[in-house]
Amino acid sequence: MKAQVIQAFGNPSVFQIQEIPAPEVIPGHVLIEVKATSVNPIDTKVRSGFVKGVAPDFPAVLHGDVAGIVRAVGEGVTKFQVGDEVYGCAGGFKGMAGGALAEYMLADADLLAYKPKNLTMEEAAALPLVAITAWEAMFTRGNLTSGQNILIHAAAGGVGHVAIQLAKWAGATVYTTASSKEKLEIGRRLGADVTINYLEESVQEYLQKYTNGKGFEIVFDTVGGENLDRSFEAAAPLGTVLAIAARSTHDLTLLHSKGLTLHVIFMLLKMLEKEMRKEYGQILEKVTNIVEEGKLRPLLDSNIFTFDEISKAHEHLESGKAIGKVVLVNKW
Amino acid sequence: MKAQVIQAFGNPSVFQIQEIPAPEVIPGHVLIEVKATSVNPIDTKVRSGFVKGVAPDFPAVLHGDVAGIVRAVGEGVTKFQVGDEVYGCAGGFKGMAGGALAEYMLADADLLAYKPKNLTMEEAAALPLVAITAWEAMFTRGNLTSGQNILIHAAAGGVGHVAIQLAKWAGATVYTTASSKEKLEIGRRLGADVTINYLEESVQEYLQKYTNGKGFEIVFDTVGGENLDRSFEAAAPLGTVLAIAARSTHDLTLLHSKGLTLHVIFMLLKMLEKEMRKEYGQILEKVTNIVEEGKLRPLLDSNIFTFDEISKAHEHLESGKAIGKVVLVNKW
C-alpha cells in the first residue's frame, strides 16, 4: 500500500511517499481503509522530533486522527463489522500499530466509534483528538456542570471550537477569546454567549465587565505559553484552569493566593495505555451522539489537502494561519 | 482584657501587650475565653507584612487557632452553650472579629467544633488550621481513597504530621520524607508505611525502590519552593500534586508530559467567606471524632510558650527548628 513515511525527524519536507506492506489484522484490532485524516499540533511535534518520547520507531507512519471503512476485523472484536464507517484517534505514536497517513491503518477497536452519519469522512477525521481532549479536560477532569461559567481561549482553534460547543451542550455559560472579528464571529456562531477580543481588552477589563472582577469558575487554556498566565489571572478564587500546553515556566503565585486547581491534559497518555483506551472509544461514542443531535460540528480550514500534499498541510498548521482543523483526504 | 497587639508589620518584637476592650458577643458568634493558641506560618507572614491582603486592620490581634471555653453565646447560635469547650481556626485575619492572642476571642460559631475530650487545651489549639488544611487538600480536593498511595513531604511538619495520620485513617499507603532520623522516627510512629530521608535518596532512587519508577498517585507537598519540583517529579502519570505553598516560579513541563493535576490549597480563602465557613466547622467535627477514636494526635514542639512569650514563639517557628506545632498557653 501507499503511505507517507518519515525515516528521520525534520521539517515538513521529511515525508516520503513509499510502498509498504499493508498491515494484517491482529486480535482486538480492525483494519481501516483510510478515507481522511487531520493534522494536530502533536503530529507536527512528533515529525519535528520535539516530542521524541511519544514518537513511533522509523520508518514511521504518522497521524492519529482517522475516518474510514472497516475492511477486516480481528479476533475478539464484537463492536464492528466489515463495511462499518468508523473514526478515532488510533495510531501514529509510540508502540501503536500504525498511523493514518496510509491507504490502510491497523487500529485498536477500543479507540474507535461509529462515524456520525451526518458528517463526511473529512469532517469526521477532524474531530477525534480535539473532541476527546475537550471532553477529558472539561468533563473528566474539570467537572464542568450546567450553570457554571467557563472562559475558553481560542474560539477558532482546533480544541477551542469544539470546547465551545461541548460546553454549551453541557449547559454552561461560555465566554471565548480570539484576536480577530472573523474568529470571534465563528465563536458566536458556535454558540458562545460572549466573545472577547483579547487584543482590545485586558484580562482585568473583561473580568470587571463580565464577572464583577470575580473571575471565571473554569478557564480552558488551549493556547499555552504566556496565555497560561492570563488564564491564572482570569480564574475565580477556588476556580479551575484546564491546560493542554504547559511545557513552560510560570509564576504560580496566583494559583496560591486564589487556591486554584490546574489540570494539565495530555491526551496521548491514555491512548498509549492499552488498559485506558476504552475510555476514549466511549467518549467518542458520546461525541457521535452529540454530533447526530446537531449540537456539535467540526470547523474545517478552507484548505483541504490530499495525502500527496502532507508537507503543505503541516506547513499550513505550523504557520498559525489555519482556522479550525487542517484536514487531508485520501485520493490514492 | 489583655491582648498581644500589633500596630504595624514587622519582626517578632512588634507585639505589644495592651489592655483593650473585651469584645461583645454578636449574632452567629460566641465569646471564647482563650486557653491556648498555636503559631502557623501564615500568622508569621501576616505579622511581617508578607501577606498584607489577608491581614486585619491595626491595631490587630493575630492568630487563628484557638482552644477555650464558651463564655457568651450570640443570637442564632444553637450549636454551643456557655461552658462548652471548643476549638477552631476563627480569627486574626482580614475582616474577622479578632484573633486568639487575647483573653477573650469573638468567633463565628460556624468555624468551631467541640474540643476533643481526650486532648488538653494546648493540644487542641495545635490542630485546627493544619487539620482543616490536610483534610481539604487530601479529601475535598485530592479525593484520596483507601488503597491509594500518597507521598507526604515533611513528616514532622505542622501539616505533614497530621496528613500522615489522616491518610492512614482513610486507608491509604503512606510514604513520607524528612531530613533526619528523629523526624523519620516521628513519621513512623504516626503510622507512615515507609519513611524516606530525602537527603540520602534522590526522587528517582526512591521512585524506583518503592513504585517501580512509576511514581505516587498523590503527592502532598507541605514544603513549597524547590520541593515542589521534586513533587512534580515524584507524581505518577495522571497523578495529583497537592500544594500549600506555591508562591514561586516553576517549569511545568512534567505537569504536561505526565498530565498532572495541581491543587493549591490556601486554607484562609473559605475562612474569610461567611458562606463557606460552615464547611470548616464540619471538617473539625469529623476531626474531633477521629481524635476521640485515637486515630489522630497533634505533635507539639517541646517548647510550650506563654502569651507573654509570643515573640519567642514566632522566632522559634521562623527558625525552622520547631518539630510539630508551636503552642502558646494563656497564663494571664
DSSP state of A23: P
Instruction: Verify whether the Cβ–Cβ distance B246 to A259 is below 8 Å.
Output: no
Average pLDDT along chain B, 332 residues, taken 10 residues at a time: 97 97 96 98 96 94 98 97 98 92 98 98 98 98 97 97 98 97 97 97 97 97 97 98 97 98 97 94 98 98 97 96 96 96
Entry field: residues in chain A: 332
Within 8 A by CB and 6+ apart from B208, the residues are none
Grid coordinates belonging to A327: 484536514
Q: At what angle do helices A158-169 and A181-189 cross, to 10 degrees?
A: 30
pLDDT at res. A32: 98
Query: Which single residue is written with the C-alpha cell 521539517?
Result: A11
Taking each helix axis from N to C end, the angle separating A203-211 and A226-234, rounded to the nearest 10 degrees, works out to 30
Closest residue of B to A225, CA-based? B252
What CATH fold (topology level) applies to the domain A2-127+274-329?
Quinone Oxidoreductase; Chain A, domain 1 (3.90.180)
Q: Which three cell numbers stand for residue B129?
A: 488550621
Tens digit of each residue's pLDDT (9 = 90 or more) over A133-158? 999 999 999 999 999 999 999 999 99
pLDDT at residue B87, as a whole number = 98
Give the residue from chain A lying closest to B262, CA to CA: A262
Residue ranges of chain A whose CB lies within 8 Å of a chain B CB? 53, 141, 228, 237-238, 243, 245-253, 255-266, 269-270
d(CA B133, CA B152): 13
* Confidence bin at A97 (pLDDT 50/70/90): confident
Q: Is residue A254 very low, low, confident or very high in pLDDT (cuts 50, 70, 90)?
A: very high
Which of A252, A258, A269 faces B249 most closely, judged by CB atoms?
A: A252
* A327: three-class secondary structure by DSSP: strand
**ipTM for the complex?**
0.95
What's the pLDDT at B319? 95
Position B194 scores a pLDDT of 98
Q: How far B54 CA sits from the closest chain A CA (Å)?
A: 10
What's the confidence (pLDDT) of residue B97?
A: 80
Q: What is the pLDDT of residue B78?
A: 96
Cβ neighbours of A222 in B, within 8 Å: none
What integer pLDDT is reported at residue A287 of this predicted model? 98
Helix-helix angle A310-318:A41-48, to 10 degrees: 110
**pLDDT, mean over chain A:** 97
Question: Which residue in B252, B264, B270 is closest to A246 by CB distance?
Answer: B252
| C-beta atoms of A247 and B256 within 8 A | yes
| Residue B220 neighbours by CB under 8 Å, 6+ apart | B134, B137, B138, B142, B150, B151, B152, B153, B160, B163, B167, B242
Q: Give the separation between CA B205 and CA B224, rounded to whole angstroms.
A: 21
Q: Looking at domain B130-264, what is its CATH homologous superfamily? A: NAD(P)-binding Rossmann-like Domain (3.40.50.720)
Given a contact cutoff of 8 angstroms between Cβ atoms, the answer to whether B221 and B227 are in contact is: yes
Distances (CA, A) of B261 to A244, A262, B140, B324: 12, 6, 14, 28
CATH number for the domain running over A131-264: 3.40.50.720
- Give the start-to-end residue ranges of the domains of chain A: 2-127+274-329, 131-264
- Among B232, B262, B268, B271, the strongest candidate for a mutation testing the A interface, having the largest count of A CBs within 10 A, is B262
Q: What is the pLDDT of residue B160?
A: 97
